[in-house]
């Protein structure tokens, strides 16, 4: 079953089972997917509305990233109860994301990308990121990857 269909089915099930938080998060995610479909239809004309698996992952990743940022903001702002709610929402969203790569695996892939791109200095970070990010799409946080690339290029 396609990921977007799985999300829609899970949302219906959560609503039926009266799981308030889960149904709320999945409704929001379904709405974000529908927005993306409308945007795609608008840009590419009739019939171009259905999303690819990659586009669905992009939407889920974006929503998860918003939760991570909100958690940091609420923790800094002294709102632990709100941070906790965001953490629970993030857990629900992570079910639909591919398993995240370990830091070791990211370092390994980064070393390969550095070799393939011929990068030598920190100024070559763009070359490395261009080579690396398509391989990591949805499986690693961009900020973490950027930090690892910087660390390996400055050695």
Residues 21 and 88 in one domain: yes
Residues 32 and 76 in one domain: yes
Residues 69 and 31 in one domain: yes
Can you give the pTM of this predicted structure? 0.76
How many domains in the chain? 2
Please give the span between the terminal C-alpha atoms of the chain, in angstroms, as a whole number. 45
Q: What is the CATH number of the domain that holds 17?
A: 1.10.1510.10
Residues 39 and 78 in one domain: yes
Residues 129 and 70 in one domain: no
Residue bearing the bigger pLDDT, 134 or 26: 26
Q: Which domain holds residue 132?
A: 103-154
Residues 90 and 118 in one domain: no
Least confident of 76-80, 139-143, 145-149: 139-143
* Helix extents (H) in the chain: 3-16, 20-44, 53-76, 80-94, 103-117, 125-136, 142-154
Residues 82 and 114 in one domain: no
Residues 89 and 15 in one domain: yes
Least confident of 40-44, 58-62, 92-96, 102-106: 40-44
Integer CA distances (angstroms), 95 to 58, 62, 90, 122, 146, in order:
14, 14, 9, 35, 24
How far apart (Å, rounded) are the C-alpha atoms in residues 125 and 117?
Answer: 10
Residues 85 and 111 in one domain: no
Locate 154 and state its tokens: 């400055």
Which of 94, 116, 144 is the endpoint of a domain?
94
Which of 48, 63, 94 is the endpoint of a domain?
94
Is there a contact between 149 and 129 (Cβ–Cβ < 8 Å)? yes
pLDDT in tens, 42-69: 887 665 568 888 889 889 989 999 999 9
Q: What is the CATH number of the domain that holds 135?
A: 1.10.10.410
Residues 27 and 88 in one domain: yes
């Amino acid at each position: 079953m396609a990921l977007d269909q799985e999300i829609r089915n899970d949302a219906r099930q959560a609503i039926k089972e009266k799981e308030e938080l889960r149904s709320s998060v999945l409704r929001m995610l379904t709405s974000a997917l529908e927005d993306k479909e409308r945007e795609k239809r608008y840009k590419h004309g009739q019939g171009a509305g259905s999303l690819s698996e990659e586009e669905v992952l992009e939407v889920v990743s974006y929503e998860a990233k918003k939760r991570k940022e909100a958690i940091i903001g609420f923790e800094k702002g002294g709102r632990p109860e709100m941070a906790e709610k965001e953490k629970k929402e993030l857990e629900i969203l992570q079910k639909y994301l591919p398993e995240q790569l370990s830091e070791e695996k990211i370092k390994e892939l980064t070393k390969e990308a550095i070799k393939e791109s011929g990068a030598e200095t920190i100024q070559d970070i763009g070359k490395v990121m261009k080579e690396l990010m398509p391989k990591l799409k949805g499986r690693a946080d961009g900020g973490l990857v950027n930090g690892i690339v910087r660390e390996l290029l400055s050695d």
